[in-house]
Amino acid sequence: HMPMQSVPGQLNELEKHKNDTIVLICRSGRRSDQIGQFLEQMGFTDVVNLDGGMNAWATDVDTSMTVY
pLDDT band at residue 19 under the 50/70/90 scheme: very high
Per-residue pLDDT of 32-55, as tens digits, reads 999 999 999 999 999 999 999 999
Domain boundaries, the chain: 4-61
Cα gap 2→5, rounded to integer Å? 8
Length of the chain: 68
pTM of the full predicted structure? 0.85
Three-state SS at 48: strand
What contacts 61, CB < 8 A, 6 or more positions away?
none
Of 65, 55, 58, nearest to 31 by C-alpha is 55
